[in-house]
Chains A and B, each alone.
Chain A
Amino acid sequence: MIKKTILTAFLLFILYTIFVIQFAPKWWNASQHQWQSNVIKAQNFLYDDSDTIQNVIIGSSLSSRLVTDSLPHTSNLSFGGQCIFDGLKILSHKSKLPKNIFIEMNYVLRPESKEFTNSLLSPILYYPRKLILSLREDKQPIAVLGYIQMVALDKVKSALFPIQEYRKKDKVETKSNDSSTLFSKMLSLQIKEYSQQPDQKILDKSFNTLRDYILKMENESANIVFFEMPVNNKLEDLPKAKVIRETFYKYFPASKYKYISLPGSFKRETTDGLHLNEDEAMEYTTYFKSEIKITSANK
């Protein structure tokens, strides 16, 4: 029984690996949730050996709203629920750095998630995943099965409901969720959080770690650009945001480093106080794109 069990597992693994490499359709990849999307994004970046990436964005869930598809030669290492140190750790693992590195300023106080980076960079998993495609997060068979079911369900829905009626129904249902109440709750929680001065020890520790990363990257001739993701207007000038901004200028003077300033006329309502909604994200991406162009042209 033991031999047969192991042989069955081995055969299934070999067959699935061959299928993923040779026969799987292009859409054979899926992400089930935020953590997995983060892992997939990081794995795609880590295992991409091509030399085409010129710009990389390092950030939190705030920057993950940037519509990267419209940014040429740019990779977005912004992870929901994570921080810039996760992205920086992953970036430091690459043998060659991209030319321009854009670093988000907002979530500098959140420490690196060792669980996340270890799961990606532990040598026991890193090399097998690099070599064997079926071991990668986006090829999980049950995740793909779920994705297929969702697509099928969408098709059934669109066959049953004409598109306009469906959208109308969607709107009514969303309204019944009382999302505005949730928004107010989330915003008031953020206001409370942003009204507090950051802990000096955490502030120093975070900025010293960041400085170490920056020095290392500068030694490898990377161009560092800092940017602040827009948040709800009510949060922008509260103590936490102000102190973080000032500390950035203290550690990384504007005379030496490039900063992308917040667009003045930009409307910032957001979905929860922190994250831009779809339209706002698109608008800010356009602004960001123009800044990338300027940065690339200057170098």
Chain B
Amino acid sequence: MLFNSFIFVGFLIITFVLYYLPYSSRIQIPILIISSLIFYAYNKPILVFLLLFSVSVNIVSSYYVVYGIDKYKKSFAIAGVALNLSILAFFKYSPLFSRTFFNENSSIGEFLLTIPLPIGISFFTFQGISLVIDVYQEKYFNNKDIVPKSFIKHSKQVLFFKGFFPQLISGPIVKAHDFFPQIKVKYFNEIQWESFLKSIITGYFLKMVVADNLKDFTFWITFPYFQNHSTLTLIVMLFGYSCQIFADFAGYSLIAIGLAKLFGYNFKDNFNFPYISTSFKEFWKRWHISLSSFLMEYLYFPLGGNRKGKFRTYINLMIVMFLGGLWHGAAWSYAIWGSFHGFALAIERFAKDKIKIKIRPSRIFKICKVFLIFGFVTLAWLLFKLPDFHHVIEYFKCIFNNLRAKNDFKIIIYIMLYSSPVLLYHLIYLLKEKPVYNKFRRFEYLLYGMMIFLIIVNSGSSGAFIYFQF
């Protein structure tokens, strides 16, 4: 069920009304569980069983980590994480495994290729892992406050945590220590309407007006169609894709955050104006924050982080980003994309460690760094659009070879038009530190009103969210 479909609007209204009915306070969680299962089952009902199996792994492992015999707690935690990862590996990476290690006629290879990719598996698996590790480490909360003695009550809470529909299929990846303390009865008069409205309007605007319109122009970044385009057109299309992927995913995250608010739950921001970053490190603190913070907490730190020497830090960064890349998709191009970012982070860290030249931070220097990081990040997005690495090389060749080819001004003009809200969005953020921002804030209703107007009259054809494939 897509957030931008009419069926979803109907589904949301029914769930909302049932949730806040005067006599529903005791069954609010079951209401959200049932509606989340309906939401997940809408396209492929059979996959609900996989979700339930994945949830049951986390229910059992987290419960026995808390209430099991002390000497087996670690084993339960390891088993829980391993089973979560096995489910993810089996369903997500079997086709990649088949293509890499089996020939076309092998029956095992053929079988592995037929395994479907359940929507949202990467997201709910990571949430499950966060639960098992959080209760094992007991770093953020007292376990007994979070995991009730009643196994049924605990099961209900875990199912709710993993299945809550706003974040179920495309994140943000909500961590157990952020979500569990919020589970309690919610009241209608506690809804933060303004905050909800801002998230929802911006989210739908980014998705339906920006991303859905851009997708019809960035479509031409497809082999062999791009071969006929000029250098300028190819560069603008790449720029447009960078804006599209941001608008699509940030839009989805904002809608999810807004919807969660409607039911009284707060998710942390998933994007924080990533395209103004002046370093790769900053970029990853601003882009898909729920994933990067997950990788940092549950992978980079356990690997030793930066505590085991400089060389080991570089290697850890590479490993984390390589796996982060593979998390995005079962293709080697995603691993290359992740490795590129890992390499860039390692180089950046190396430069910071070794080069001690002090450059006086000027505004121009900062702007140059923003452009540089944006440029590299944008080039790397090409691996998302063209999963075949040969096509990526071909695209770059065309950028250099098609200097004299005819520019497609229709594509250029529309990409610039539909990308401008993304630029404006980042510019407004930069203005936040200036006094003029407070004057502007008084009239922000005009901006939100304009966004609603454009959602009504200028939405693109509805397309699936890019991050659904992950």
- Please give the residue numbers on chain A whose beta carbons come within 8 Å of chain B beta carbons, in ascending order: 1-2, 4-9, 11-13, 16, 32-36, 39, 115, 119, 122, 124, 134-135, 139-143, 145-146, 149-150, 153, 170, 172-174, 176-179, 182, 185-186
Please, which residue of chain B has its CB at the minimum distance from the CB of A15? B453
Q: Is B458 part of the contact surface with A, judged by Cβ < 8 Å?
A: yes
Contacts of B228 in A (CB 8 A): 177-179, 182
In the bound complex, residues from chain B placing their C-beta under 8 Å from that of A124 are: 6
**Complex Cα–Cα for A146 and B448 (A):** 22
**Cross-chain contact A149 with B413 (CB below 8 angstroms):** yes
Most buried by B among A8, A36, A139, A182: A8
Q: Across the interface, do A140 and B458 meet the contact criterion of CB distance under 8 Å?
A: yes
Taking the closest CB of chain B, its distance from the CB of A53, in whole angstroms, is 26
Q: Contact: A141 with B450, CB < 8 Å?
A: no
> Please, could you name 5 A-B residue pairs with CB atoms under 8 Å apart, sorted by A?
A7-B449, A9-B449, A176-B402, A177-B228, A177-B406
Q: Is the CB of A2 within 8 A of B446?
A: no
The interface residues of chain B lying within 8 Å CB-to-CB of A122 are 6
In contact, A134 and B457 (Cβ under 8 angstroms): yes
Please give me the 7 A-B residue pairs with the lowest Cβ-Cβ distance, nearest first: A8-B449, A9-B452, A4-B445, A12-B453, A173-B406, A9-B449, A5-B448
Interface pair B216/A13, CB less than 8 Å apart? no
Most buried by B among A7, A9, A39, A170: A9
In the complex the two chains form, is A16's CB within 8 Å of B453's CB? yes
Q: Are A119 and B452 in contact (CB under 8 A)?
A: no
Of the listed residues A12, A16, A150, the one surrounded by the most CB atoms of chain B closer than 10 A to its CB is A12
Contact partners of B155 in chain A: CB under 8 A: none
Tell me the bound Cα distance from A186 to B222 in angstroms: 14
Bound complex: CA A16 to CA B450 (Å):
12
Q: When the two chains form their complex, are residues B444 and A142 in contact, meaning their CB atoms are under 8 A apart?
A: no
Interface size on B, residues (CB 8 A): 37
Additional A-B contact list (16), CB under 8 Å, known A8-B448, A8-B449, A186-B224: A1-B194, A2-B193, A4-B445, A5-B197, A5-B445, A5-B449, A8-B452, A12-B453, A33-B216, A34-B216, A119-B462, A139-B457, A145-B417, A149-B413, A173-B406, A177-B406
When the two chains form their complex, are residues A143 and B405 in contact, meaning their CB atoms are under 8 A apart? no
Question: B201 and A150: CB pair below 8 A?
Answer: no
Smallest Cβ-Cβ distance to B219: which chain A residue: A33
Contacts A36-B461, A142-B418, A142-B454 given; does A2 touch B410 at CB 8 Å: no
Do A13 and B405 have beta carbons less than 8 Å apart? no
* A residues in contact with B453, CB < 8 Å: 8-9, 12-13, 16
Residues on the A chain within 8 Å of B445, using CB = 1, 4-5, 8
List B residues 209-258 near A (Cβ within 8 Å): 209, 213, 216-217, 219, 224, 227-228
Which of A34, A122, A176 has the most chain B CB within a 10 Å cutoff? A176
- A150-B193 in contact (CB<8A): no
Least CB distance, A135 to chain B, in whole angstroms: 7
Whether B193 lies near A142 (C-beta < 8 A) is no
Q: In the complex, what residues of A have CB within 8 A of residue B194's CB?
A: 1-2
Residue contact A1 to B458, C-beta cutoff 8 Å? no
Contact: B406 with A146, CB < 8 Å? no
B456 near A: Cβ within 8 Å? yes
B404 at the interface (CB under 8 A from A): yes
Q: Answer yes or no: B409 CB below 8 A from chain A CBs.
A: yes
Q: A36-B461, A124-B6, A182-B224 are in contact. Are A177 and B413 (CB under 8 A)?
A: no
Residues of B within 8 A of A170 (CB): 406
Q: Which residues of B contact A35 (CB under 8 A)?
A: 216, 461
Interface residues of B in 428-457 (CB under 8 A from A): 444-446, 448-450, 452-454, 456-457
Of B402, B413, B444, which one neighbours A150 at CB under 8 angstroms? B413
B458 touches A146 (CB 8 A): no
CB distance from A107 to the nearest CB of B (A): 20
Docked Cα-Cα span, A185 to B226, in Å, equals 13
Shortest Cβ distance from A128 into chain B, in angstroms? 10
Residues of A within 8 A of B418 (CB): 142
